[in-house]
């Protein structure tokens, strides 16, 4: 296949850290190549060099046999390269059409051709099955709709080569499946795509060929139909990956209990008459289609929202109206669903983010003065123990890859040894090896006596880690079932709200 894109001998260093070393890659017309690697393997850096965000220390980039000038995004765009970033670059106060048109008009142009732009947008929308509403404000769109707008922005500028950087990191499984169908349609239409990911099932589903990076170097290249998830995982990590197994629980006293809780909708779905209990040494898994109230449940237990009625008990004390500092002081640690909006402050350093949630504790402050060395030591310990790559205690946390940011947040929570852990989507954005590490540490926390509230859209994760499982549908919780009895059909019935049939099926299986 004649290559439309060639990267040859790309090397990039940031100080003593080598992000890419002698990397070469080729892409054919209409081909989907997956760039696979662990968090911090150098995938995003390599694509940023291709798109002109970074200048390589060595190597060249060619598009249609023409060498691109280094460090010039505009040249890459003119050559037909488009990039969809992991974190959307959309203006929420503008419409879809205005976002798509942004940056496409010459400064010397006297007027916008909105009618022509709208027509071109709708033609692209129909051709590639990317339904959008041109006059809708981005602030009113779902995450999946924002993803479509980002792709259309690139196509609007006549991209022939499209780079998608972790495009499913913020999508539900249903939205991801829809995206994959769109990508296949685009490749059939002649577009060439580079799909950056660390999720093996996605790579196997969507790509024609896989290039594997490990610690900045290409360690393997495979035709997708001739390889397996196990082989790719071993190439990516450098060893066989085995997820830990859950041992039987030894539940202790009730640490967390909700009684008839009603929470009004505020940035998420409402909760209606929700009751639950969670014991020490036990994990309760919450499953459900995104947007059914699981986010609100996590925020409630974390002290971020308060109920309109009902009672929330923590270790026998009424915490219904408790604020966040009191919740943390009571021994509740949270791994938030959105690491960027709720888990950290991007422009603060890593050590500042480590100390942030417990800045008033004796460990990190004394008489109102922050103990910097204690916070820096804690950050160093987390970086080492949780394998946070590319991290320096004085570096800005936004400079980390999404997966390494997630590992740092996980370490911040678990190193404080909380009695209750709210883990919302804890492995979202992590590679296979890191997922195994997260699961091991959550199971260790449970085994030492912590109560874990696991909220996840990954059913395999919930079944692997939970002792009991409940579904949330329309803000209501289903009856609990033991994880040992869970299967795809039963969980599907629960998530659909068909709890009577689910209970009958469980009773039948239990006999």
Confidence label for 501 from pLDDT (cuts 50, 70 and 90): low
Complete domains list, the chain, with CATH: 3-237 (3.40.50.300), 254-331+418-510 (3.40.50.300), 344-416 (no CATH)
Residue 109 has pLDDT above 80, yes or no: no
Out of 240-249, 444-453, 479-488, least confident range = 240-249
Confidence label for 506 from pLDDT (cuts 50, 70 and 90): low
Interatomic CA distance for residues 136 and 101, integer angstroms: 14
Most confident among 125-134, 171-180, 227-236, 250-259 (mean pLDDT) = 250-259
Q: How many CB atoms lie within 10 A of CB 484?
A: 10
Out of 125-129, 184-188, 206-210, 254-258, least confident range = 125-129
11-32 residue pLDDT tens: 999 877 888 999 999 999 999 9
Q: Say which residue, 342 or 210, is predicted with more confidence.
A: 210
Confidence label for 465 from pLDDT (cuts 50, 70 and 90): very high
Most confident among 111-115, 133-137, 398-402 (mean pLDDT) = 133-137
Q: Are 140 and 93 in contact (CB under 8 A)?
A: no
Most confident among 75-84, 288-297, 310-319 (mean pLDDT) = 310-319
Question: Residue 102 corresponds to which tokens in the numbers above?
Answer: 């942004």
Query: Which pLDDT score is estimated for 311?
Result: 95
Query: Which pLDDT score is estimated for 433?
Result: 80
Task: Write down the residue that tokens 């080729």 correspond to.
Answer: 26
Residue 89 has pLDDT above 90, yes or no: no
41-63 residue pLDDT tens: 888 889 889 988 899 999 999 99
Q: What is the DSSP string of 66-125?
A: EEPPTT-HHHHHHTTEEEE-SS----TTSBHHHHHHTT-S-TT-SS--HHHHHHHHHHHH
Residue 332 has pLDDT above 70, yes or no: yes
Burial annotation 278-316 (CB, 10 A radius, 16+ → b, else e): bbbbbbbbbbbbbebbbbbbbbbbbbbbbbeebebbbbe
Query: Which pLDDT score is estimated for 507?
Result: 65
Q: What percent of the chain has pLDDT over 90?
A: 39
Q: Are 163 and 45 in contact (CB under 8 A)?
A: no
Query: Which pLDDT score is estimated for 463?
Result: 93
Averaged pLDDT, 412-424 = 92
- Reading phi first (left if > 0) and then psi (alpha if -120 to 50, else beta), residue 71 is in left
364-381 residue pLDDT tens: 888 778 888 999 999 999
């Amino acid at each position: 296949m004649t290559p439309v894109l060639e990267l040859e001998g790309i090397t990039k260093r940031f100080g003593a850290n080598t992000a890419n070393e002698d990397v070469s890659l080729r892409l054919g017309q209409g081909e989907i190549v997956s760039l696979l690697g662990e968090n911090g393997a150098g995938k995003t850096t390599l694509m940023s060099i291709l798109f002109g965000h970074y200048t390589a220390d060595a190597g060249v980039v060619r598009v249609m046999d023409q060498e691109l000038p280094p460090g010039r995004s505009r040249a890459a765009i003119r050559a037909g390269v488009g990039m969809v970033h992991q974190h959307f670059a959309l203006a929420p106060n503008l419409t879809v059409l205005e976002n798509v048109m942004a940056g496409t008009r010459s400064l010397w142009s006297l007027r916008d051709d909105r009618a022509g732009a709208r027509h071109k947008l709708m033609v692209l929308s129909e051709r590639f099955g990317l339904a959008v509403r041109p006059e809708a404000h981005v602030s009113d769109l779902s995450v999946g709709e924002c993803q479509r707008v980002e792709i259309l922005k690139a196509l609007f500028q006549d991209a022939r080569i499209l780079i998608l950087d972790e495009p499913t990191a913020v999508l539900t499984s249903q939205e991801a499946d829809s995206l994959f169908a769109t990508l296949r349609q685009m490749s059939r239409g002649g577009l060439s795509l580079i799909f950056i990911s660390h999720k093996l099932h996605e790579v196997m589903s969507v790509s024609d060929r896989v290039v594997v990076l490990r610690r900045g170097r290409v360690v393997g290249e495979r035709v997708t139909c001739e390889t397996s998830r196990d082989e790719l995982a071993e190439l990516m990590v450098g060893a066989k990956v085995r997820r830990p197994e859950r041992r039987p629980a030894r539940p202790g006293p009730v640490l967390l209990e909700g009684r008839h809780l009603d929470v009004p909708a505020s940035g998420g779905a409402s909760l209606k008459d929700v009751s639950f209990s969670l014991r020490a040494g036990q994990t309760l898994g919450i499953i459900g289609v995104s947007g059914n109230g699981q986010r609100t449940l996590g925020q409630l237990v974390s002290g971020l929202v308060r109920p309109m009625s009902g009672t929330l008990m923590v270790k026998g004390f009424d915490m219904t109206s408790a604020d966040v500092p009191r919740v943390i002081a009571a021994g509740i640690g949270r791994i938030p669903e959105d690491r960027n909006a709720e888990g950290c402050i991007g422009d603060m350093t890593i050590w500042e983010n480590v100390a942030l949630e417990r800045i008033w504790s004796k460990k990190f402050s004394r008489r109102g003065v922050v103990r910097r060395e204690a916070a820096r030591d804690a950050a160093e310990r987390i970086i080492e123990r949780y394998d946070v790559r590319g991290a320096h205690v004085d570096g800005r946390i936004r400079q980390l890859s999404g997966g390494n940011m997630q590992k740092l947040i996980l370490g911040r929570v678990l190193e404080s040894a909380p009695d209750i852990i709210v883990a919302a989507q804890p492995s979202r954005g992590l590679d296979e090896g890191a997922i195994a590490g997260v699961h091991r540490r959550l199971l260790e926390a449970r085994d030492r006596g912590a109560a874990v509230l696991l909220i996840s859209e990954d059913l395999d994760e919930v079944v692997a880690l939970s002792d009991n499982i409940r579904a949330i549908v329309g803000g209501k919780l289903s009856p609990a079932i033991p994880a040992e009895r869970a299967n795809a059909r039963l969980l599907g019935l629960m998530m659909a709200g068909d709890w009577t049939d689910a209970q009958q099926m469980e009773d039948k299986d239990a006999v």
